[in-house]
Amino acid sequence: MKIYTSLLLLCILVQPITNAYAQTVSGKLADTTGGTPLPYATVSLLDSLGKPVSGVITKDDGAFVVGPVKPGKYTLQCRMIGYQQLSQKLQLSARQHAVLGTLYLLPDNRLLKEVAVTGDKPALVLLPDKKVFEVGKDVLSQNGSVSDVLNGIPSVNVSPQGQVTLRGNPGVIVLINGRRSGLVQGNALEQLQAGQVERVEVISSPSARYDASGTGGVINIILKKNRKTGFNGQVQVMAGVPNDTRLNPSLNYKSEKFNFFSTLGLRKSDYKGLYASDQLTQLTSVAMRQHENRHDDGKMLYTGIDYQLSEKRSMTVAYLRNSTHDHDKTGLDYNYGKTSTDSTLKRNGESRERRSYSQLEYNYTQTFARPKKKWTIDLQYDWWNSIKDWQLLTDKVLPEAVSYPAITTRTGEANRDLLSQSDWVQPLNAKDLQLEAGLKTEHRSVNYNFLIAPGPPNELRYRESIQGAYTQLSNKHGKWSYLVGLRAELTGIRINNDIRKSYAWFFPTAHLNYALKPDLTLQAHYSTRIRRPSLYSLSPFAELTDLTSRNTGNPNLNPSYAQVFELGMLRRTARFTINPTFFFQHIGTPTADYTYRNAEGIYTTLPVNLASEQRGGVELNVMWNPVKALQLNADFNVYRFRQTGKYNGFDFAFSGGSSGGRLTAQVKLPWATGFQTRYYYNGPVATAQSRLQALHWTDLGLSKKLFNDRLSLALDVTNVLDTRRYRTTVTDPDYSLVSMSRFNGARFRLSLTCKIGNNGVVRQAKTGNRN
C-alpha cells in the first residue's frame, strides 16, 4: 500500500509539469509493399527552421509518440535505412493531440539497384535501454545455432560448454520469448537453430518488469512468428564439413482471425574435440591427451496459433518440443612419470544420451479504447527428461599390459516447471505518464539420479518456488524520460529434504534518459539483481570420463546479489552510431571456481561462494557505414574486478581485469551478393587460483540472393584457422595444472533457403508483455 501511495503522490506532482507543454504526435510506420511494421526507424519533429525539437525510435510494432511540444508549425520526418524519407507538414494546436494513424514508407529503389539489397532493418540496432540484433540480416547468423548468433553480439560470449557471459560476467539469464526455458540449460542452446530466431535483445540493466535473476543482465531470444497474410514460409537445407546436416522448414498461414505458425528443425552434426592437460606435483607428473568424436541428432518443433477473439482481444497457444540423441566416443592417454612405477594408461569411453524437452504456452492479451492500456495473462508448463549412459574401459599399456574392470554409469534427470504471470499497463494521463504492475509465480521440480554400476543410485531432489510482484512508473517530459520500479521476490528451495533455504528481497530499478537531440541520448541506469545457483552448479555428482580431473556442483551454494550502475551515451546519425557505456557492479556472495587435489590425486573443480566482488569498466559499440555498400561494427570492453573471500583455507583475495571485443565488416557486393568477416578477441583473465590465456578466432561468410530474393545461398567458415583453444593454468603451493580445450576445429557450412508464399496485408494480433 505504501508503494502505491508513493506512486500516486508522484503522479500528482508530475501531472502539472506535463500539462505545461502542448501536444504529442502519434502514429505507426509500416512497409508500403507488405504492410509489415517498421521498428527502430527514426521519427523527428522539425521546427520552421528545420531544427530538430523532438525525436524517437519506433517500437517493435512500428508505433511512435513524439513530443510533447508547444503549439505551432512543424515538419514530421521519418527515416529508415533502405527506405525513402517521408516528410509531412503539421499544424499543432493546444487543444488536440495529433493522431496520424499508419504512415507507409516506400523502399528506396535507387538504393536497391546500387547495392542489390531490400529495404531491410539493420542487423544491429542500439537503443537507449537495449541492443537488438536482427538475426536474418547477418550473414554469419544464417547458419549454425543460437550459440553462433550470441557470439556475434557485442560484449556477449558463449563458451564451448554453453556458458554465456556479458562483459565477462557469467551471471546472465537467457530467456526464450521473454520467459525462462529449459532450452537454455547446460549446452542446449547448441540445439536451437539460428534460422528459428527472429532477433536477440541484450538488456544489461533490466527494469522491474523482468525477473530479478541474472547479475550480469538479461538476453532475450525471440523466436520467429508469421506476419504476412495467406500461406507462406521458407525451407532451409544445410550441409557442412565436419558433418553438419540440417533441414529447417517454416510454414505459416494467416487470415483475418487466425495465424497458424510452425517451424521444424532436423539436425545431424559431428564434432571433433581435442583436450590436453599436464599435471605436476613434487613427486608425480601426468600428461593427458584426449580425442573426442561427438555425434548429435536433433529434432525441434515449434507450432501454435494466434486467434483474434475481437478487435481488442487475442490469444496465443503454442507448443515447443526439442529432442536430441547424442552418441560420443572418446579416447584418453595418460603418461605417468617422476616415480619408480612410471606407466602408461589408456581409457576408451562411449556414451549415449537421449533428451526430450516439451513446452506448452498460452497468452491472452486485451487492449482498451484508451491507448496503451493493456492486460495480459501468460501461462507456461514445460517438462523435460534426459538419460545418459557411459561405458568406460581402462587398460594399462606400460610397463605391463593389465585390463581393469569396466565402469558403467547412468545419469537421469526429470523436470517439471509451471509458470503463471499477469501484467497490467495503465496510462495515467493523455501523454506519457504510465503505470505498470504484475504478478508472477513459478514452481519447479527436478529429480536427478546418478548410478555407478554395480551400486545403489545417488539421488538429488530439487524443489524451487518463486513468487514475484512488481510495479513501475514511466513518463516523458520534454527531453527527459524516466522509468522507476520496484520488484519483490520470495524464493523457497528444498534439496533432498535436507537443505531448505528461502530468500526474500526487494529489487529497485531506475532508468533516466535525456535526449539532447533526436539522435543524441544520455542514459543513467540503476538496478539490483540476484543470481540463483543453477541445478548443474548444485548437483554433487560428477562424470568419471577423466581419470584425474572432474567437475562437480556444490549443494551449499547461496545466491549472489548485485547492485548495477550504468552511465551511457547513444549517438546516431545516418551513417554512424556510437554507444559508450560505463558500468560498475557490487556483488555480494559471488560465485567462483575452486580447484583442489584430493588424496587419490584427482583434481576436482566446484563452484563456491566468496565474500564480495566489485567490477567496473567501459564498453564501446560503434557502427559505421562509410559507403552504402559497407557496414563496419566494432565493440570493445575493458573491466577491472576485485574479489575477497576464503574457502577451505584458500584465500581468494585478488584484483585483476581483462578486455575483449570483436570487429565485423559486412560488404554488399553487386549481383545481390554479400560478404562478412568477424574477428573475435578475448583478453587473458587471471584469478587468485587460475589464469586463462588470450583467445582469438575468425569467421567468414558469403551470401547470394537469387530469383528476386526467393532463393538464397549462404556459405560460412567458423574458427577458420583453428585458433579457438582455451588454455588455462591452475597453480597451488602443492601442484600445477595446465590444460587446453578445443571443442571443435574449423567448420565449413553451405545452406540453401527457399521462400514460399505471398506478401499480403492483414491486421496483426496483439502480443503480450513477454517480448
* Region 393-407 average pLDDT: 90
Report the alpha-carbon distance of residue 560 to residue 217 in Å, rounded.
13
pLDDT tens readout for residues 703-759:
998 988 889 999 999 999 999 999 999 998 889 999 999 988 899 999 998 988 754
Categorize the per-residue pLDDT at 768 as very low, low, confident or very high, splitting at 50, 70 and 90.
very low
In the chain, CATH 2.40.170.20 sits at: 230-757
**Spatial distance between the Cα atoms of 200 and 398, rounded to a whole number of angstroms:** 53
pLDDT of 482 higher than 80? yes
Q: Give me the DSSP letters along 158-223.
A: E-TT--EEETTB--EEEEETTB--GGGSTTGGGGSBGGGEEEEEEESS--TTS-SB-TTEEEEEEE
Among residues 722, 703, 626, 618, the alpha carbon closest in space to that of 154 is found at: 618
Assign 3-state DSSP to the chain and report helix, strand, coil percentages, each to 5.
5, 65, 30
Q: What is the pLDDT of residue 100?
A: 85
pLDDT of residue 511: 93
* More confident position, 10 or 144: 144
Burial call 430-439: b when 16+ CB within 10 Å, e when fewer: ebbbbbbbbe
Q: Which helix (H) or strand (E) holds 112?
A: helix 109-115
What is the reported pLDDT for 766? 36
454: preceding bond cis by omega (within 30 degrees): yes
Q: What angle do CA 372, 126, 187 make, to 5 degrees?
A: 95
Residue ranges, comma separated, of all CATH 2.60.40.1120 domains in the chain are 2-110
And the C-alpha cell for 562?
A: 548485485
82, three cell numbers: 533502405
The grid cell for 7 is 506512486
Q: With CA atoms as reference, report the closest residue to 226 among 768, 771, 759, 769.
A: 759
Confidence grade of residue 378 (pLDDT, cut at 50, 70, 90): very high
CATH superfamily entry for domain 230-757? TonB-dependent receptor, beta-barrel domain (2.40.170.20)
pLDDT digits (tens, 9 = 90+) for 292-334: 999 999 898 889 999 999 988 999 999 988 899 999 999 999 9
**305 neighbors 346 (Cβ within 8 angstroms):** no
Q: Give residue 760's pLDDT.
A: 39
Can you list the positions of beta strands (E) in 589-629? Answer: 591-597, 603-609, 612-627
- Record the cell numbers describing residue 533, joined without a space: 545457483
pLDDT at 4 over 50: no
Q: What is the pLDDT of residues 175-195, one digit of tens each?
A: 888 777 666 665 567 666 777
Quote the CA–CA distance of 402 and 600 in Å, as a whole number. 20
* Per-residue pLDDT, 108: 62
ω into residue 518 within 30 of 0, thus cis?
no
Measured distance CA(595)–CA(281) in Å, rounded:
15
Question: Is residue 3 scored above 50 in pLDDT?
Answer: no
Over residues 649-654, the mean pLDDT reads 94
- How many C-alpha atoms does 563 have within 13 Å on its Cβ side? 6
**Are the beta carbons of 545 and 388 closer than 8 angstroms?**
no
482-502 average pLDDT score = 92
Tell me, what's the pLDDT at 122? 57
pLDDT for res 326: 94
Amino acid 10: pLDDT: 40
Contact in structure between 701 and 673 (CB atoms under 8 Å): no
List, for residues 111-155, the tens digit of each pLDDT value. 433 333 334 455 567 666 678 887 766 777 777 778 888 887 888
- pLDDT single digits (tens) 328-360: 999 999 998 876 567 899 999 999 999 998 999
CA distance 379 to 388: 31
- Residues of 504-513 as b/e, b for ≥16 C-beta within 10 angstroms? eeebebbbeb
2-110: what CATH class? mainly beta
User: 479 or 653: which carries more pLDDT confidence?
Assistant: 653
Average pLDDT, the chain: 85
Mean pLDDT of 381-395: 93
The closest alpha carbon to 59, from 128, 160, 109, 161, belongs to: 128
Q: Mean pLDDT over residues 399-421, rounded?
A: 92
